[in-house]
Every structure is written in structure tokens, then in C-alpha cells.
Amino acid sequence: MSRSCSHILDKNKLPVVIDLFSGCGGLSLGFQTAGFTLAHGIDMSESAVYTASFNLHWRYGMDKKYINGDIRHIDPGIFKGATDDECIVIGGPPCQAYSLIGKAKLRSLGHDRVNTRDARGYLFQDFIRYVLELDAKAVVMENVPEATDYGGLNVPQYVCDILEDHGYTACWTILNAADYGVPQVRERVFVFAIRGKLAHEFKLPLPTHRNPEDRPTQLQLRMKKFVQFKNFQEPVKPSGDCPDWITVKEALSDLPSLFPSSRSKYYLYKPHIQLEYRTEPENPYQLLMRTWYHNNPKTVTGHGFRKTVRDFPIFERMNQGDNYKAASEIAEHLLEEHCRINNIDREKNEKEYLELREKIVPPYDTGKFVSKWKKLREDKPSHTLVAHLSTDTYSHLHPWEPRGISVREAARLQSFPDGFLFQCSMSDAFRQIGNAVPPLLSKAIAESIRENILLLDEAIKDENSTGDQRLFCSTG
């Protein structure tokens, strides 16, 4: 019997999933929720592997653990003997070499550290190596939009070319997480592939939400130039009857109040500390986040937020949507007030003035730093969360409390359910969340992959059935 006959997918027998560069498991969680079995995962971060293993396996009593290691030094053969099932390979190779933030940091380290000399920029080759050696049934690869021009190389198109040379139907596109019910504008490149020849375009995920302003994002405006690439496929546009994008207020309003004013006492909440929700679920998104695991708890964890004492009074006076320029002006006004109250003259009391200035005014250049601070607007989705949250949370200030967002709030903005636990340091948790694929987007992707596999297998069944009838007729 031919391979195409013997590996027809039973609708109740989906391929198992192998997650490369898994991080804390955002992509895995979406596939698991869509009904796929997670066979393996691997990541360089020990903390991320622990988070993924706990939430995806241990919480269900399964004696399974994602691998902590570097795929460049691990033979894909370790996965082959562990399952006789066909597999789907998913993952997001590290983006530091592509992203604007990462490229700027590398340039600052000297010529030898420019982004195109960074080995992390070529980890997509190891991803492909795993796909081909494991003979994956389907493929999902995620990365930042800047991967479309890595020193002149369009990485997603290059990956599609290689996969097509090996018998896959492949495409790449750009998806915005906000279109899939995530309260965050987050646009990422995705490569999708399936082993075999589809008779139609790849069935991309169907959006569930729409931009209420009905105007393109900056990246959508750039999509016109991507049409020149033969494997680029435009994403499905949301229909007019889709609900509006989920806003920050809709995502966060039921979570516990942690720091009502700049004069509140700061508490360093440990990851396991349980606090009661502020309200009952106020909308379908909050209900989903609370009942993802089929229960409806009254308390929630993950309330760590940064202790930035100097800046709490500044945050309090900032308006929603304000950036560092506004924050700097507020700081100068606060300094003037303190000088007036304490009778400190800038000329006569220079030492006292400089000491007070250091305590009140952030020392950052308003010309270079303006976009690094941003107070969230409650009436819109959040802007993109990034791994830099592990260093500070100035980029995502709480909309109505004078502080940076908490770990749980960051998780909510990425659509991690409230029962998904981050039992690690605050920095590790923020990094894991910022690096992750939002689970709601991943679930939509998993469902589209399942649809494409079933359509291909139905076509193979029809082809084989036709072939059997011809054989019967010729020998009858």
C-alpha cells in the first residue's frame, strides 16, 4: 500500500504536536485546547520549560516534561522512537536577530554583533531540519514581521521554498492577534505547510473580531509589497458582523485592585498568592479566562508588579495613552512643587536641588526614550507585549492604577487563562508572556491546520477510491 493510502488521517486521530522553541507553551496550549495531543516540546529556558510542563502536563497528572536544551545540539531522532503517530511541528525560532529592538541592541555591541552575524537569526534552518527529519504532516512557524528582510533574505518565503521542494504545500501570512479575540494588537508572520498537494489555497484561520475603526494597521499597509512573493497569502478579513476588538478594560476590569494610589502601600506578591476577583465576570472574555479549565474560581494568582517608587506619582498624573514626553513634563512639575514646598532654590541650593531632582525626575532623553513609556488606554486593545517586560514594565502602564501591569494582567492581555500558572520569578514570567504566541490565536491556527489536514486526506481518499474503481474495471 502506498504511503498516501496508509497514512490517511482518522478524524478522531489527529497528528501529535512537537513544539520547538516552545517557551512557556502559548502555541502548545492553543493546539491542546483544539484537541491535539502534545507529544514533545523543547526550549533553552529552564524556567519556561518548567512553566510549560506544569501547565500542559503535570496539572493533568501526566508524567511528561518538555526538554530543556538547544535544538542545534539535539538529534531529532530522540522524538522518532517516542511515538508511532504522525506529527505536526510548530514553533517560533528566536526573533532577537530580526526585531527592531534586538537589531539595535546588537548594533550597539559592535560590528561583529550586527544582526546578520547573530547565529540566532539562522535557527529557522534547524527548525526546517527537524520538520524534514521527522517527516512532519504539517508545519507552523511563527516570527516577527522583520523576518521578511533579514539582510535581504525573506525568511518565511525561503522556508516555504524549501518545504515546497520537499513535497509540501506552503504559504506565509501575517496575522493580528486582535482579530482572534486577544486584547492586544500583535502582528506576527506565520508559515503554514502541509505534506502533500492541496487543490486549493491554504485555509487560513477565520477571524472572530474586527477593528472598530475599520482602517488598516501600519503592517497591513505594508502587505501590498508582500504580494510579489509567490507564497504570500493575505489573511482572511473579518466579516462585518464580527464583534469589535477586545479592549484593555474588557480584559482587566474584574482583576484585583493592587495599588489604588501612589500613596498606597506596596506589596511584593509571591506568584502563588491568591486574591479575590474585584467583580464577577463582566463580559464573555473575562468569563472565558476564568473558566478555561472548566471551573470558576473565586481567586486568582500572579499579582507581582514592579516597585518603581520614584515613578508612582508620575504614573498617577499621566493620562491614558500618554508616553514618556508627557511623563517627563509631569516629573518637572512635581520637582517644581517639591522645591516650592521645601524652599529649595535651584541656584542657591544647587546640591539639594540636584539630589531632589534625582529622586523625582527620570534621567532619560525625551528624544530617544519617548516611546518606551506608554500608559494603556482602557478603550482600545493593548499595544504589543514584548520580552523586554522582563526588564521593566514602563511600556505597559496600568490604565487606572499608578503602576506597571502585573504578571496576571500581562497574561490576560496575551489571552493566557487565569488558571495558567507562572511559578517563577517576576522577570521570568514577564519574559515568558512577552515571548509567547497568544493561546487564543494559536487555537484558531490549530483549528485551521486540522481543517487543511482533513481536506487533504479526504482528497487522497477520493483519489484512491477512484484508482481502486479503475483497477476493478480493468481486471473485471
Active site residues: 95
What would the DSSP string read from start to end of 56-83?
Answer: HTGGGT-----EES-GGGS-THHHHTT-
Q: Please check whether residue 9 is in contact with residue 457, taking contact to mean a CB–CB distance below 8 angstroms.
A: yes
Residue 40: in which H helix or E strand, if any? strand 38-43
Question: CA 296 to CA 289: how far, in whole Å?
Answer: 10
Q: How far are the Cα atoms of 87, 103, 160, 242, 260 from residue 135, in angstroms, in the given order?
A: 8, 33, 15, 38, 54
Residue 9: CA atoms inside 13 Å, Cβ hemisphere, count? Answer: 26
Report which DSSP code applies to 190. Answer: E
Question: CA 283 to CA 280: how far, in whole Å?
Answer: 9
User: What cell was used for 298?
Assistant: 473565586
Q: Please check whether residue 192 is in contact with residue 170, taking contact to mean a CB–CB distance below 8 angstroms.
A: yes
3-state secondary structure 290-301: HHCCCCCCCEEC
Residue 193: in which H helix or E strand, if any? strand 187-195
Rg (CA), the chain: 25
Question: CA 64 to CA 62: how far, in whole Å?
Answer: 6
Nearest alpha carbon to residue 115 among 78, 156, 152: 152
How many C-beta neighbours within 10 Å does residue 417 have? 18
Q: How far are the Cα atoms of 124, 250, 414, 435 from residue 386, in angstroms, in the given order?
A: 20, 21, 10, 6
The one-letter amino acid code at 422 reads F
> Would the CA dihedral through 418, 422, 423, 427 be positive or negative?
negative
User: What cell was used for 356?
Assistant: 531632589
Strand, helix or coil for residue 286: helix
How many C-beta neighbours within 10 Å does residue 210 have? 18
Q: What angle do CA 144, 236, 20 make, to 5 degrees?
A: 35
Q: Please check whether residue 441 is in contact with residue 182, taking contact to mean a CB–CB distance below 8 angstroms.
A: yes
